[in-house]
Every structure is written in structure tokens, then in C-alpha cells.
């Protein structure tokens, strides 16, 4: 199984600049509390990764309970909301409008440079290694309109299918793109293209999906034999999430209702009959996230050893530390390539 490492450091502030991100969190909390006021409508669930029923309380976020699976260590919201209501939130809430109009625009260039370009490179390299012939891609349940537009403009792929987007096509202002997007999102294409799709992508989608099993089944059904599935997600096994735990600003509903452990991710993919070709954690932000949280909140319960490392304030040490996390699959940002058997 391949393990890839990146050697540039990132800054969390480049992707989530305070105070814009703070405002986004505040708006999200207020939306979620209104939208999911009736807690009786939420459903208790088994572990989305390994299906175990054994769990213990982990922490609560915005008044919603997260539990930790006692079998695989996955942290997930339970009870949780249904996928149709989660999609409704992404389509219509005030916080998401704020995200699109403000946060997404402020970080657009950095995202393009540090996230999307890496993604294309990753997909291209992997496809060249494992596939031949046409490159037909289906992107699933994306809430990221900017990314989908980049995909539609990408000439590397022959056919492009946008499955169940979690944003309003009407919000796309460019008419030519809107037309392309409508065509690529037409559900009839799902059937006419069956067995011709050899690439599927789930970029940070498991994170906000309540029925992960159906998501994996749908993805697998659409993919031809030998086809590749590209996944990114954050994992609770990673450094910043292990250290910050309930104080992490990356875990909150509904953006992150599942934070699977590494063991959980592997169990999930094997259970659905996929072969894992790559499992890397090429995250560049773990150390920076812990450092900036600690600077803002010196009272945070951070292990003594980590405090000692932070106190050295040594750039080379920080880079070496982040590199160590990547090499040993201990960063919280995971990227995975699966192959349908
Ligand atoms: Zn589990």
C-alpha cells in the first residue's frame, strides 16, 4: 500500500482565517440549533465504520452528542440527522451562504494552489499508473461549488458526472458553466454511463454523510470493475485531533458528523469489497493547528511534551515534526485510493 508525503508546511489561517471562520462557526451553531431543534427526529446509530454498537460518550458540539466506538476508535455523532436534512442545510442555510460569499472567496486562491492542484496531480499520477483508455469521472455529493467548476473545466477527463451536488446549480453565475453543470448532474446520465465510469471521487464527503454504507454502495455500483475511488477525509487518529479532542475546531455538526479512525476507514473499505491501493496522511496543518490553538488559549489541556516542543519555537523542528507525522500516517488529513475488485 502506497504512503505519500508532502514537504511543504501549511498555515491553518490560509484556509480558515480568524475571525471569518469564527463567524462561520457561530452562524452554523445558530442554524443547526434551529434546524434540528426536535432531537427526537435524530436517530441513534451503530459505528459508521465497523458497525459495532459499543461506544462511549466522547464530547458534545453545539449541544449534539459525539460518541467514540469501542471497537475501532471512530468518533461520530449519535443520535444524528438524516442525509436529506443535511443536504437541505447545505442548500439553504444562512451559514452556508456566508461560507460561499465570504470564507470561500477569501481563501479561493490558496485552495486552488494548495488543495485542488494537488488533487489533480494525485488523480493524474494514479490514473496513469493503474488505468488505460478513457478517463470518466463521477464526483459524489460535493458541497464545494468552486471545486466542481474546476472539475468541469478540467480537460484531462473525457466524461464528467456530478452526482447529487449539495449546492444550488442556480448559484453558478456563468451561463455556459451552468449548462455544463446541469448536463453533468442529470440523473439519466447515471444509467446511460453505467460501467463506463472508471474514476469516482468523495472529497471530504464521508465527513458529513449519515448513511455511509449507502454512499459506499452507490459509489461502488457506479464504478466499473478495476475502477478507482479517490477519497479525502479527516481522521480522528491524527495528531491535532488526538491532542485537541473536544477543543478541535474541525469537528462540529453538520460539516463533520463522522471522524473515522484509521482502523475504521480500513474496515469500512474492506467491508465494501475495495482493495486499498494508497493510504496516506499527507496533512501539512496538524502542528500549526495545535500551535495556533495553544497561542489563543494557553489554558488548553495539552500534554506536557507537546508544550515543550511548542516552547522551542523552532521552524526546523516544526517541519521535522510534521514530516514525522506524515511518514508514520499520524496526520489527521487522510487521502485514500481504492480499487473495485
Ligand atoms: Zn467502529
To the nearest 5 percent, what fractions of the chain are helix, strand and coil? 50, 20, 35
Integer CA distances (angstroms), 100 to 20, 91, 105, 235, in order: 12, 11, 7, 25
Cα-to-centroid distance, 154 and ligand 1 (Å) = 37
CA distance 142 to 200: 12
| Full-model pTM | 0.95
pLDDT of 62 = 96
| Edge-to-edge strand list for the sheet holding 197-203 | 159-163, 136-140, 197-203, 223-234, 333-340, 274-280
Q: What angle do CA 149, 153, 157 make, to 5 degrees?
A: 115
pLDDT in tens, 98-152: 998 898 888 888 888 888 999 999 999 999 999 999 999 999 999 999 999 999 9
Q: What does residue 280 show for φ and ψ, rounded to 5 degrees?
A: -125, 160
Q: What pLDDT is stored for residue 196 in this prediction?
A: 85
DSSP 2: B
Which residues have C-beta within 8 Å of that of residue 117, sequence separation ≥ 6?
none
Rounded distance between C-alpha atoms, residue 322 and residue 320, angstroms: 6
CA–centroid distance, residue 260 to ligand 1 (Å): 8
Q: Are strands 274-280 and 333-340 parallel, antiparallel or unpaired?
A: antiparallel
Long-range pairs for 39-44: beta carbons < 8 A, 24 or more residues apart = 39/79, 41/81, 42/79, 42/80, 42/81, 43/79, 43/80, 43/81, 43/82, 43/210, 44/78, 44/79
Taking only the tens place, the pLDDT of each residue in 12-56 is 777 888 889 999 999 999 999 999 998 888 999 999 999 999 999
Give Cα separations from 304 to 154, 220, 298, 309 (angstroms): 47, 45, 12, 9
Enumerate the β-bridge partners of residue 258: 76
Q: How far, in Å, is the centroid of ligand 1 from the Cα of 54?
A: 8
Centre of ligand 1 from the C-alpha of residue 47, in Å: 5
- Rounded to the nearest whole angstrom, what is the distance from the C-alpha of residue 178 to the centroid of ligand 1? 40
Task: Say which residue the cell 459505528 belongs to.
Answer: 47
Q: How far is the CA of 235 from the centre of ligand 1 (A)?
A: 13
Distance (angstroms) between ligand 1 centre and the Cα of 242 equals 17
Calculate how far, in angstroms, residue 182's C-alpha sits from the geometric centre of ligand 1.
38
Question: What cell numbers appear for 281 in the block?
Answer: 496522511
Instruction: Specify the residue for cell string 447529487.
Output: 164
The pLDDT of residue 195 is 66
70 CA to centre of ligand 1 in angstroms: 7
Q: Give distance in angstroms: CA of 119 to centre of ligand 1.
A: 28
Pairing of strands 333-340, 258-259: unpaired
Q: What pLDDT is recorded for position 128?
A: 97
- Separation of 76 CA from ligand 1 center, angstroms? 9
Pick out the chain residues at pLDDT < 70.
7-10, 190-195
Ligand 1: centre distance to CA 201 (Å): 23
Amino acid at each position: 500500500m502506497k504512503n505519500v508525503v508532502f514537504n511543504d508546511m501549511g498555515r491553518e489561517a490560509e484556509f480558515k482565517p480568524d475571525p471569518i471562520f469564527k463567524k462561520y462557526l457561530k452562524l452554523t451553531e445558530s442554524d443547526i440549533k434551529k434546524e434540528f431543534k426536535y432531537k427526537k427526529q435524530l436517530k441513534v446509530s451503530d459505528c459508521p465504520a465497523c458497525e459495532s454498537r459499543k461506544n462511549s460518550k466522547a464530547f458534545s458540539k453545539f449541544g449534539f452528542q459525539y460518541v467514540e466506538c469501542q471497537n475501532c476508535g471512530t468518533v461520530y455523532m449519535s443520535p444524528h440527522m438524516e442525509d436529506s436534512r443535511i443536504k437541505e442545510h447545505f442548500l439553504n442555510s444562512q451559514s452556508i451562504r456566508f461560507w460561499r460569499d465570504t470564507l470561500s472567496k477569501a481563501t479561493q486562491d490558496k485552495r486552488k494552489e494548495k488543495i485542488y492542484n494537488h488533487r489533480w496531480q494525485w488523480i493524474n499520477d494514479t490514473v496513469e499508473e493503474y488505468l488505460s483508455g478513457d478517463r470518466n469521472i463521477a464526483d459524489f455529493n460535493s458541497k464545494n461549488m468552486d471545486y466542481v467548476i474546476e472539475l468541469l473545466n478540467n480537460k484531462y477527463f473525457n466524461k464528467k458526472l456530478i452526482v447529487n451536488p449539495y449546492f444550488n446549480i442556480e448559484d453558478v453565475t456563468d451561463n455556459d458553466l451552468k449548462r455544463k453543470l446541469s448536463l453533468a448532474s442529470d440523473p439519466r446520465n447515471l444509467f446511460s454511463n453505467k460501467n463506463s465510469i472508471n474514476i469516482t471521487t468523495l472529497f471530504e464527503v464521508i465527513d458529513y454523510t449519515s448513511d455511509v454504507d449507502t454512499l459506499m454502495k452507490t459509489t461502488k455500483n457506479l464504478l466499473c470493475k478495476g475502477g478507482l475511488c479517490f477519497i479525502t477525509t479527516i481522521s480522528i487518529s491524527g495528531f491535532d485531533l488526538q491532542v485537541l479532542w473536544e477543543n478541535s475546531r474541525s469537528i462540529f455538526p453538520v460539516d463533520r458528523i463522522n471522524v473515522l479512525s484509521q482502523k475504521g476507514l480500513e474496515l469500512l473499505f474492506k467491508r465494501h469489497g475495495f482493495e486499498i491501493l494508497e493510504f496516506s496522511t499527507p496533512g501539512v496543518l496538524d502542528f500549526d493547528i495545535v500551535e495556533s490553538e495553544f497561542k489563543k488559549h494557553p489554558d488548553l489541556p495539552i500534554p506536557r511534551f507537546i508544550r515543550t516542543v511548542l516552547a522551542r519555537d523552532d521552524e526546523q523542528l516544526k517541519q521535522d515534526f510534521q514530516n514525522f507525522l506524515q511518514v508514520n500516517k499520524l496526520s489527521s488529513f487522510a487521502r485514500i485510493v481504492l480499487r473495485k475488485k
